[in-house]
Structure 1
Amino acid sequence: MIYGCMGLGGAWDDTPVAAADIDHAERAVHAAVEIGVTWFDHADIYTRGKAELVFGEVLRRDPGLRDRVKIQTKCGIRLGESGLQAYYDLSKAAILERVDASLARLGVERVEILLLHRPDPLLDPAEVAEAYGELRAAGKVGSLGVSNMSAAQMSLLQRHLDEPLVANQLEMSLHRRDWLEAGVLVNHPEGSGLSFPEGTIEYCRANDVRIQAWGSLAQGIYSGAPRSESDNAAYDLVNAMAADKGTTAEAIVLGWLMRHPARIEPVIGTANPDRIRACADAEAQAAAMTNVEWYALWTAARGRPVP
């Protein structure tokens, strides 16, 4: 499992970081470490840079922590600049600039992985490769990955890289199942309504690209958050299974993802230490989950039998 730091740092505005924000981040980070998490996921835009900033303060409070964790961050999205609410920028200059800014906020010399946050239609793969080569040579970045990219986009980028892409971060959960449904509804009328790019999961599996699932807890709809009536059947089954197995709804939901042979790595996005700890049993639940249980959860979530 990976801990996603998007919820750290306070509000998504220019409000300065307060001591309470650092304390909150410290509790969340330590809860994640407590359940065995070693990877921490960032992006330069999370709470407008404050997520990285408070994480850096947590590292300073606990000097030995950096040696026990691995950090990845993302770049490629610009917010509130040049008169636009948002736009993408994966130019060489932007990548170099944003990585340096992330390292400064984190207070580290290197991140283990840099992810390209969103596909930039103006991306020049050769320019990205140049930027990555300079960052790697300078010891600032270990490996390169992507986020929200298709197999075709990864393949194009990979042609210009000397090192393999190591990760792709995608929205995946029991609630957001396009990644799963698209591979099953081939040559089926229902498949026309799905947007997940064909072959992406298979590309990652064939090329040993780590699949990281953001939104893996489905915003808590199976563990107490408000939900629609259509989610009730899956909610009831998740919680019945959790009670029967003496575990938590979070562990069942994450275990369902981890049971998939693609070795999906859930990104835990909650900043609530109790909910983080509730995820501790996910790996064990994945190992114990039967095919029938897995299909029962999928069927309940989709609201109808598989074709």
Structure 2
Amino acid sequence: MKKVKLGNSELEVGEISLGCMRIHELGKKEAAYVIENAMDAGVDLFDHADIYGKGKSEEVFSEAIDMNDDVRENMKLQTKCGIRKGFFDFSKEHILESVEGSLRRLKTDYVDSLLLHRPDALMEPEEVAEAFSILKESGKVRHFGVSNQNPMQIELLQKYLDEDLIVNQMQLSVVHTPMIDAGFNVNMSHDPAIVRDSNVLDYCRLNDITVQAWSPFQHGMIEGPFVGNKQFPEVNAKLQELAEKKDVTDSAIAIAWILRHPAKIQPVVGTMNPERLRDIVKASDIELTREEWYELYRAAGNELP
């Protein structure tokens, strides 16, 4: 698999990562096979969050691979914090407590990256900066990032930090493209022209922040996959056409569409099916033509101005 650098850090990882939200649903043997299969396929960044499975996902992950120093040095671990029951919390106390809990569950001394999961309207950036400083100096977190944040939210936080944020996780798939739509429809008065995210994709490119695409197979937030879904006949027909042409699966084409963007976006795939993951990572060896990329964009229901 091709590699990508996370932001301006020294972290070089496979350009497709594995999201571990559902790994708590597996038994130890099944989970171990998922992780080992992923690493054999070149996936070496594993994305967690303190809320996944109410913490169980991190536990199952570490138990499945019998976490030890030899295993740990061959992978990158990322986790997220800030979502609590009914509210968001970027307080210093919660960030520090959350990281301690994740390290305990993951059975490791450090995580390679910590992301703030959802924007907290009550965030005090000085307090976040203090928490990040403590975690960095103690060696418990090596790099920091955010998730679902717009440029001004990132700027506000970055003002108080001693180091650059390296990641911003954002929802992106061929059927969920608000980050891209407005860029085509500058100074127009119809709905696709609405800038919903303060041009976050261009901002992240300008500031060397890696965009990680979550839910790359989903439509809506939790409505389910669009790949193979009869509700999306045109985009699925185009996915299948390109899959047959390039001798891969339709899911690999959906990921190749994201990888084709010059922003070097890193998809976070959440499949717990080892065979499907092996098929998906073949996207790293595919490069869609410019015409094919636009064909998929239009097949998803988008009109060019």
TM-score calculated relative to the size of structure 2: 0.89
Shift of 1:277: 1.1
Q: Map residues 182-197 of structure 1 onto 2, 5 A cutoff.
A: 182-191=182-191, 194=194, 196-197=196-197
Q: Give the letter for the 1:103 counterpart.
A: L
Matched, 1:294 2:293: yes
Normalized per residue, which structure has more helix?
A: 1
Q: Which residue of 1 aligns with 2:304?
A: 306
Cα distance in 2 for partners of 1:183, 1:161 equals 30
Q: Give the letter for the 1:241 counterpart.
A: L
Matched, 1:28 2:34: yes
Q: Which residue of 2 aligns with 1:150?
A: 150
Cα distance in 1 for partners of 2:300, 2:270 equals 21
Cα distance in 2 for partners of 1:43, 1:111 equals 11
8 A Cα contact 1:185 1:191, kept in partner: no
Cα distance in 2 for partners of 1:276, 1:132 equals 34
Cα distance in 2 for partners of 1:183, 1:278 equals 32
Q: Map residues 1-307 of structure 1 onto 2, 5 A cutoff.
A: 1-10=16-25, 21-60=27-66, 64-79=70-85, 86-191=86-191, 194=194, 196-218=196-218, 219-222=224-227, 224=228, 226-228=229-231, 231-285=232-286, 288-302=287-301, 304-307=302-305
**1:6 aligns to what SS in structure 2?**
coil
Cα distance in 2 for partners of 1:193, 1:88 equals 30
Shift of 1:192: 6.1
Cα distance in 1 for partners of 2:170, 2:51 equals 17
Shift of 1:241: 0.7
**2:169 aligns to what SS in structure 1?**
strand
Cα distance in 2 for partners of 1:220, 1:283 equals 21
Bigger relative CO (Cα 8 Å, ≥ 6 apart) = 2
Shift of 1:6: 0.6
Q: Give the letter for the 2:91 counterpart.
A: S
Cα 1:195/1:50, change in 2 over 3 Å: farther
Cα distance in 1 for partners of 2:29, 2:67 equals 10
Shift of 1:193: 7.6
For 1:182-207, what per-residue CA distance to the aligned partner results, in whole angstroms no more than 9, with x for missing partners? 22222222336856312211111011
**2:77 aligns to what SS in structure 1?**
strand
Shift of 1:27: 2.0
8 A Cα contact 2:81 2:116, kept in partner: yes
For 1:239-296, what per-residue CA distance to the aligned partner results, in whole angstroms no more than 9, with x for missing partners? 11101111111111000001001111000111111211111211111xx311000000
Cα distance in 2 for partners of 1:24, 1:194 equals 44
Structure 1, unmatched stretches of 5+, are 11-19, 80-85
Q: Which residue of 2 aligns with 1:83?
A: none
Shift of 1:7: 1.1
TM-score calculated relative to the size of structure 1: 0.89
Equivalenced residue count is: 285
Q: Which residue of 2 aligns with 1:82?
A: none
Cα RMSD over matched residues?
A: 1.6
Q: Give the letter for the 1:32 counterpart.
A: A
Cα 1:125/1:51, change in 2 over 3 Å: same
Cα 1:136/1:62, change in 2 over 3 Å: closer
8 A Cα contact 1:146 1:169, kept in partner: yes
For 1:44-91, what per-residue CA distance to the aligned partner results, in whole angstroms no more than 9, with x for missing partners? 000110110011112316763211100000000012xxxxxx210110
**1:64 aligns to what SS in structure 2?**
helix
Shift of 1:214: 0.2
Cα distance in 2 for partners of 1:153, 1:245 equals 41
